[in-house]
Amino acid sequence: AGGHVLPVSDVAFGPGDSLLASGGEDGQLLCWHLARSTRKPVGGALAPGAVSRIAWHPRERVVLGAHASGLVG
C-alpha cells in the first residue's frame, strides 16, 4: 500500500538492515523502515523514467538514487 505505481527497478538495504530503499520505473526513490512497516519518499521523483541504481552510505542513513539519464539525487 502506498508504494510504487510502476515496477521496482532496484532495491538496496541500508546499514544495519532495518532500512530498505527501492527505486522504481516511476522515478520514485522510497525508503522503507522494515521493523515499523512504514515508508517515505526520499526527495520525490528524480526524473521521468526509472531509477537505475541505489547506493547507501556505508555508515550513515544517507541514500542516493541514480536515474538512467545520469541524474543523481
Average pLDDT, the chain: 83
**Contact predicate 62/55, CB 8 Å:** no
- List, in order, residues 6 or more apart from 16 with CB less than 8 Å away: none
Which amino acid makes up residue 59?
R
Phi, psi of 17 (to 5 degrees): 60, 15
Using 50, 70 and 90 to split pLDDT, how confident is the model at 22?
very high
Q: What is the pLDDT of residue 43?
A: 65
Q: What is the pLDDT of residue 1?
A: 54
Using 50, 70 and 90 to split pLDDT, how confident is the model at 73?
confident
